[in-house]
Amino acid sequence: MNTAPRSILVALTAGTLVLTACGGGSDTATPESLPAVAEAGSATFNDADVLFAQGMVPHHREAVAMADMALAPEAGANAEIVALATQIQGAQDPEIEQMTALLESWGQPLDMPGMEGGEVMEGMEDGEVMEGMEPMEGMDGMMSAEEMMALAALSGAEFDTAWANAMIVHHEGAVSMSQTVKASGSNPEVLALADAIIAGQQAEIDQMKALVGG
């Protein structure tokens, strides 16, 4: 078993890629009218939509960091775990960009109140661990820095089991957050994203539970 912790980065902010939500137009909509429809749809949001996006971005980033662990050669993860990690990266990286773009289009901060992600990350390089970092309140299923480092120290079958169990809890948190915004959010793009997260991550939960015999 490899006992040297692999450094990981749980980023608290995302890069900027401006996307806009396309609202439903009528049968007579013209290409010239579509930008205005998209702009109007993106501008429809409430506090629940903002908090969901601000919270889900770091939540997704931790899942991507966990996926990075499984894809590292020293983890010795089996083929099913590697395939799951690749799938998680492929789904959650674009969702991070989408939520970041929504916050920017709404003129809202990328961080939750009291969460100064930009300052925390200053001077850090990719692959470094943020010492003492703890899950933020309301971030269901997130791991502490110590738990991430302990997971990174494992390899082989031991890593596979621990990773799957941790990701199950992580995904369950994302599903819970998505169900919350579905009950109180108003932005059509956020509500559609919440539906996609629930469907996609619940399917992955079921797959991981089958792998660990849960």
pLDDT of 49 strictly over 50: yes
Which residue in the block uniquely carries the two structure tokens 């969702």?
A: 95
Both tokens of residue 40? 């109007």
Whether 13 maps to a domain, the answer reads no
Predicted confidence at residue 164, as pLDDT, reads 98
* Domain assignment of residue 185, given as a range: 46-212
The reply to whether 22 falls in a domain is no
Residues 123-171 pLDDT 10s: 333 333 333 333 344 468 999 999 999 999 999 999 999 999 999 999 9
Please indicate, yes or no, if residue 186 is contained in any of the structural domains: yes
Question: Using CA atoms, how far apart are residues 106 and 111, in angstroms rounded to an integer?
Answer: 13
Q: What is the CATH number of the domain that holds 140?
A: 1.20.1260.10
Q: List, in order, residues 6 or more apart from 40 with CB less than 8 Å away.
A: 23
Residue 133 lies in a domain: yes
Average pLDDT over residues 34-60: 75
Find out whether 181 and 137 touch, Cβ atoms under 8 Å. Answer: no
Residue 139 falls inside a structural domain? yes
pLDDT of 140 reads 83
Number of domains within the chain = 1
When mean pLDDT is compared across 104-108, 109-113, 203-207, the lowest value belongs to 109-113
* Interval 71-79 mean pLDDT: 97
Does residue 155 form part of some domain? yes
Question: What pTM, to 2 d.p., does this model score?
Answer: 0.72
Q: Does residue 140 belong to any structural domain of this protein?
A: yes
